[in-house]
Every structure is written in C-alpha cells, then in structure tokens.
Amino acid sequence: MIGMNWKRFGMSAGLALVLALGACAEEAPAPVEVEGVFAELEITNARLALAPVSGNPAAVYFDAVFNGERGISITSADVAGAGNTMVHATAEINGKMTMGEVGPVALRSGEPLSFEPGGYHVMAMQLDPSVAAGDSVEVTLKISGGKTHKFTADVRAAGEER
C-alpha cells in the first residue's frame, strides 16, 4: 500500500511538470526594449506651443495612456533646448486661475490623461531662440522607478492651435 502512494505521487509530479512546461511554451514573447522608451506608455498629439512674447516660457501638451499592469507617475520632464522645465497644473484658487509646479502626476492603467491648456502641462523655460515653428523637439518624461520615456513634440507658433 505504501508503494502505491509513491506511484501516485510520481505520476502526479510528472503530470504537473508536463503542464508547467506546456504553460511556458505558450508565453508571449517579451516586448522589444527601446532605449529611453517605456513600452507600456503611449504618447500622442505631442506639441510645444511657443510663447507670444519671445523669451517667455513655452508649453508642452500631449495625450498619455499607460497600458501596464500597475499605475505609474510622471515625476518630471526635460525638453531639448530648454534651460529649465517644470510639470505644471492650472487650478482655480480663491476665484482666480493660477498655475504652479506639481509633484508626481499619476497615470492609472488604461485611463487616458491629457496634458492640455488649462490643465497639466510642461513648462519649457529659457528655450533656445533657434527653436521655431515647424521644428520638433525631444521631450523626456521621467517615470517613477527610474525609467524614462522619450518622444518628439511638434513646435507650433504662438497663434496656432495649442
């Protein structure tokens, strides 16, 4: 009777091993990693709006969707050609519209978030005067956990649609 239990154990262990190996064979291939691009983060409609007065800060707007399993946060941003950048938000305080630097901006899985006029945006200060409408600039978002995500934003003149 003891030998029979060992036989059942051996058959069960063998079956478990076959099932585990079969599950491994069906795993999807890992996404291709691109330097400086966070694969699960999708950025669209990226644009940098130049200021109406030369030398004033420009603003970067874009639409973001994170498609990973857990949420992430945008902790800061860099814009090529800018001396300084800050992630800002616009808010109403005591009946007045104001804007200021914000801490990490959370992105939840599958929930789109727009960086747009009147909301979140990236301020690009001390922008190189050679950056002109029709150009494009590289934007780098710094992500919680130490990752980065780079994308290109089209440069628009002050009067163009932001």
Provide DSSP, 67-110: -SSS-EEEEEEEETTEEEEEEEEEEEETTEEEEEE-S-EEE-BT
Give the range of the structural domain holding residue 96, as residue numbers without chain letter: 41-156
| Domain assignment of residue 34, yes or no | no
Share of the chain above pLDDT 70, in %: 78
Of the candidate ranges 31-35, 59-63, 135-139, the one whose mean pLDDT is the lowest: 31-35
Most distant CA pair in the chain: distance in Å? 91
| Domain assignment of residue 25, yes or no | no
Q: Is 7 helix (H, G, I), strand (E, B) or coil?
A: helix
Sequence-separated (6 or more) residues with CB below 8 Å from residue 71: 106, 107, 108, 109
Q: What is the CATH number of the domain that holds 134?
A: 2.60.40.1890
| Domain assignment of residue 26, yes or no | no
| Domain assignment of residue 15, yes or no | no
| pLDDT of 148 strictly over 50 | yes
139, 87 contact by CB (below 8 A): no
pLDDT in tens, 13-52: 444 434 444 444 445 444 445 567 878 999 999 999 999 9
| Domain assignment of residue 33, yes or no | no
38, 147 contact by CB (below 8 A): yes
| pLDDT of 62 strictly over 90 | yes
| Domain assignment of residue 149, yes or no | yes
| Domain assignment of residue 36, yes or no | no
Question: What domain count does the chain have?
Answer: 1
| Domain assignment of residue 16, yes or no | no
